[in-house]
Amino acid sequence: MDFPILLKNQINALCDGVSLSELSQNSSHLSETYRGSRIGKERLLQTSKQALVYAVTRMPATFGAIAETLEKISAIYDFNPQTMLDVGAGTGACGWAAESFFDLQKLVCLEREDVMRSLGQSLMKESDIPLLQQSQWQTFDLIKDELPSKADLVTASYILNELHDAYQEKAILKLWQATEQVLLIVEPGTPKVFANLLKLRDILLQAGAYVIAPCPHQQKCPLKNDDWCHFSARIARSRLHRQAKSAEMGYEDEKYCYMAFSHQPLSFSYQRILKKPMITKAEVAFDICSFDGKNNVEKISVKNKSMYKKAKKLAWGDILA
């Protein structure tokens, strides 16, 4: 799903009075901040220009990852949330993505950083979308504060990884207790983050939750210690995005991990494609996570012409029925 043109134009307009060198300098600072350890830091972004650079360089990637995960969840889980609670909303990427998928009636965005909250709220208020215009933004710290309400869909993106291990169990249970239908967690696609996500998965399974994606089962993860479950969303870069990051390519690939939990189990079985399929003239080979809790390789021969033709169209992260 493409980054909304309306949102891109709003962000570009806000950058009119900012020099390219200033954007580039703030972009470098932002990259260093996000590459380093952010655990326990009181304030990640402190100025409005830093928040604006975040919207230019990171908001499209967050939007892309969220939109892709919502598409994957919607393909297997039949639900139409009316209310949404976005915890650690940043500049609002999750809300923009969910609005395009669901007929939401209420959106509450919770964000600790003042400059992020101010920009995110402004971008939504100036949109032409009633749900976003009427969104409620509140100051919120996931560790210190209690969630103000429950919602059908609760999202938390790129936030749990910023917490000390001692706080993460409390945080994930707090998010689950606020979830009426689906809880979606999205984090960076690294081995360390995935290992941590597996611990949170165990906590929620013990609390009675069902994982519905990307795992097609409730058993222990079958991947070996040197492997990790992650996916990639290709994001188109705007001209301003390329300039701010001194990038040559017209796109970037956002690597992410995600897990979605529900109060009800799925009513059918499926398999998840974990890596880019290997396509040859003889067959298509898929590395899959199966509904029986195993990591297998499935091959579809060219001799089965109809299945082979369909298999060639499947991609990393898709369902293999």
User: What mean pLDDT is predicted for residues 298-311?
Assistant: 95
Per-residue model confidence (pLDDT) at position 36? 47
Mean pLDDT score, 37-59: 75
Q: Other C-beta atoms within 10 Å of 247: how many? A: 14
For residues 203 and 282, membership in a common domain is answered with: no
Average pLDDT over every residue of 275-304:
96
The region that residue 296 occupies, defined by phi over 0 for left and psi between -120 and 50 for alpha, beta otherwise, is: beta
State the pLDDT at residue 246: 75
pLDDT, residue 196, reads 94
Same domain, 115 and 16: yes
Provide the pLDDT for residue 43. Answer: 58
169 pLDDT above the threshold of 60: yes
Does 175 have pLDDT greater than 90? yes
Instruction: For residue range 61-92, list pLDDT tens digits in order.
Output: 999 999 999 999 999 999 999 999 999 999 99
SS (H, E, C) 15-57: CCCCCHHHHHHHHHHHHHHHHCCCCCCCCCCCCHHHHHHHHHH
**Are 275 and 207 contained in the same domain?**
no
* Average confidence (pLDDT) over 17-41: 60
Residue 123 CA to residue 103 CA, distance in Å, equals 20
Same domain, 157 and 303: no
Measured CA to CA in angstroms, residue 113 lies from 4, 87, 279, 321 at distances of 24, 12, 46, 43
Residue 78 falls in which region: left (phi positive, over 0), alpha (psi -120 to 50) or beta: beta
Q: What is the pLDDT of residues 237-273, one digit of tens each?
A: 888 878 777 778 888 999 999 999 999 999 999 999 9
- pTM for the whole thing? 0.93
Q: Same structural domain for residues 39 and 161?
A: yes
| Greater pLDDT, 24 or 240 | 240
pLDDT above 90 as % of the chain: 77
Could you tell me if 69 and 46 lie in one domain?
Answer: yes
Pairing label, strands 151-157, 83-87: parallel
Same domain? For 209 and 92 the reply is yes
Are 105 and 242 in the same domain?
A: yes
Q: Could you tell me if 155 and 304 lie in one domain? A: no
For 35-39, 120-124, 184-188, 270-274, which range has the lowest pLDDT when averaged over its residues? 35-39
What pLDDT band is residue 34 in, cutting at 50, 70 and 90? low
In terms of C-beta density within 10 A (0-12 exposed, 13-18 middle, 19 or more buried), how is residue 264 classed? exposed
What is the SS3 assignment for 230? coil
**pLDDT over threshold 80, residue 37:** no
Residue that finishes a domain, picked among 241, 262, 283: 262
Helix (H) or strand (E) holding 119: helix 114-125
pLDDT, the chain, mean: 91
Domain final position from 262, 287, 308: 262
CATH code (residue 118):
3.40.50.150
Whether residues 14 and 120 fall in one domain = yes
Total domain count, the chain: 2
Residue 139: give the domain boundaries: 5-262
**146 and 19 in a common domain:** yes
Average pLDDT over residues 151-160: 96
Q: Which residue, 216, 241, 262, sits at the end of a domain?
A: 262
Token digits of residue 130: 């009633």
Q: How many residues does the chain have?
A: 321
What is the radius of gyration, based on Cα positions, of the chain?
20
Q: Is 231 a residue whose pLDDT tops 50?
A: yes
216 prior amide bond cis, ω within 30: no
The answer on 130 and 69 residing in a single domain is yes
